[in-house]
Chains A and B, each alone.
Chain A
């Protein structure tokens, strides 16, 4: 086993909704600097798994560890506080607000001095920082002060990714980030995800799109019937093999994958 401690780790996570067991002892780990994908059929539990890791759901059993120590998220706010940000499939931006306002939405910066005491926003500073974040991720937009609704879908999701990446200290979770996008826009967002990794932030990627997953991911967690049945890599497995494990056509090779494929 590698000595590296996972940034974020789930152990034996169980989540029930009434009589339905959505997660039945699922494991997960994300290592520093990697893109870890989670794939699984509809209803396999990948969404539920991700929600427990992002604080949107509270697991009934099992534990979540951040840098090796146990954490309890009661809400997404708790997860955000420790540096875990999520990008959602639906475009989670406010279209009428400008780019800077969206990036700082819910975390607005106030001016210093007496104007700050009057709760006046520091719009200049927020615009400068927002422009800087977009530049770091090479997201090109006309003006930082333009409403988000004037942007293309890809650029909008770019703003959402920039928001997550600029606030995330530890982990960015991307839940089907390209599901609502066209081909060209999807390409832009995929490139963007790579750049987030290049900046040193580990990424959890949930996607239905196998070619994208195999292009981006360092490791691929395959979830089936509420459990992780295998961890594979694009080097050791082909797409059809991954799909076969995902659908239950072949048994997962969890032990082998776990012992040989940790970075």
Chain B
């Protein structure tokens, strides 16, 4: 063994910083999803003349914003090698809390939104508490809270749909013009959330600990990282994202629907994470990949509708898609080991 020459290392790193940046971005987890997105878009633009029409991309993004925000929470949970199956129904519950309080109980819009978000955060804390406190598998805990939130949504709403919402609840559904295209405030909000998530995951110790806990929990524990604190916080984050997604959903649909968000959103958020290149075994992945994955899911749903595929077959296709995404992850993982 010879000693490592630090000065030459530093010089080399300075000289090849640009080259390294290019190489890094090519091998970055977000590149493969980007290629998949381009292929998907090419496919649908060939198959349907309407796909690239002026208002369609903006429509796709509007549809993506809800799943996109859910997928942020799903990403941080999956990075710790966990899973949150409850994000969709928790969001549905949050949405009903917001709209029922605002419409039936006359609560002002802002407190109504805040309470809805709080209800979702409480579900996140319940998930996190059960996973860390009782050491239960995340899969079964969140399958339980999936059903609890589902039931509470129907009980609390009396199966009523809430309409005639105050205008503040609809803010994130409004659009403004940008270069001739309609941009929804909710989409901007989603992108801001992604920027924040990217910063926390890549630039702070807290983010690094999320990766470490998913990568090798024993090593993380031995280096003094509070594993339970990290795990608890990712489930609370997922709850918070469900609440924010509920706010966007209300703004987009302009009503509180007890049947919203029950099946597709859960699976779509996981599909987005998987397509985005994040490993379901934890410790690897990127939030930018998830954003691209969420757009792929949105493009698929939109494109399948445009080329006239029945809704029931859309389920089939997205089901295949999630298994495909996870299989790729498993193959990559096997090669690495």
Q: Which residues of A contact B (CB under 8 A)?
A: 76-77, 80, 86, 88, 90-97, 101-102, 105-108, 110, 118-121, 128, 131-132, 134-135, 138-141, 143-145, 149, 163, 188, 191
Contact = CB atoms under 8 A, between A and B. Distances in A.
Given A138-B2, A138-B4, A108 B10 contact: no
Contacts of B224: 76-77, 80, 106-107
Q: How would you classify the secondary structure of chain A's contact residues: helix, strand, loop or mixed?
A: loop
Interface in B203-230: 203-206, 208-209, 211-212, 215-216, 218-220, 222-225
A93 B4 contact: no
Given A92-B222, A92-B223, A110 B6 contact: no
Contacts of B211: 94, 96-97
Contacts of B218: 90, 92
B219 A94 contact: yes
Contacts of A97: 208, 211-212, 215
Interface string B177-221: 000000000000000000000010001111011011001101110
B284 interface: yes
Contact of B5 (A107, A135, A139): A135
23 contacts: A76-B224, A92-B216, A93-B216, A94-B215, A95-B283, A96-B283, A97-B211, A101-B208, A106-B224, A107-B223, A108-B208, A118-B199, A119-B204, A121-B208, A128-B10, A131-B4, A131-B9, A132-B6, A135-B3, A135-B4, A138-B1, A141-B4, A163-B223
Interface in B108-139: none
A191 B205 CA distance: 33
Contact of B212 (A105, A145, A191): A105
A92 B199 CA distance: 27
B334 interface: no
Nearest to A101: B208
B6 A135 contact: yes
Contacts of A140: 1-4
A105 B224 CA distance: 8
Interface string B9-23: 110010000000000
Contacts of A138: 1-4
Q: How big is chain B's contact interface, by range?
A: 20 to 34
Contact of A105 (B1, B3, B203, B219): B219
Contact of B216 (A95, A110, A144): A95
B250 to A, nearest CB: 31
A132 B2 CA distance: 14
A106 B223 contact: yes
Question: What 4 pairs across the A-B complex have the smallest Cβ distances?
Answer: A106-B223, A108-B205, A94-B215, A135-B4
B9 A188 contact: no
Contacts of A149: 336
Q: How would you classify the secondary structure of chain B's contact residues: helix, strand, loop or mixed?
A: helix
Nearest to A111: B203
Contact of B4 (A119, A134, A188): A134
A121 B4 contact: no
Contacts of B212: 94, 97, 105
A97 B209 CA distance: 10
B14 to A, nearest CB: 11
A108 B203 CA distance: 11
B96 to A, nearest CB: 35
A144 B208 CA distance: 16
A189 to B, nearest CB: 11
Given A138-B4, A143-B9, A144-B9, 7 more contacts: A88-B222, A105-B220, A106-B224, A119-B203, A121-B205, A131-B9, A143-B13
Given A92-B219, A128-B10, A144-B9, A119 B206 contact: yes
A131 B11 CA distance: 13
Contacts of B204: 119-121
Contacts of A131: 4, 6, 9-10
Nearest to A110: B205
A95 B4 contact: no
A54 to B, nearest CB: 10
Contacts of B13: 143, 145
A119 to B, nearest CB: 5
Interface in B147-200: 199
A191 B13 CA distance: 29
A118 B199 CA distance: 10
Nearest to B284: A96
Given A76-B222, A191-B1, A94 B9 contact: no
Nearest to B9: A131
Nearest to A91: B219
Contact of B203 (A93, A121, A143, A145): A121
A237 to B, nearest CB: 31
Nearest to B337: A149
A107 B223 CA distance: 8
Contacts of B6: 128, 131-132, 135
B283 A94 contact: yes
The interface centre, meaning the residue of A76, A92, A106 with most chain B CB atoms within 10 A of its CB, is A106
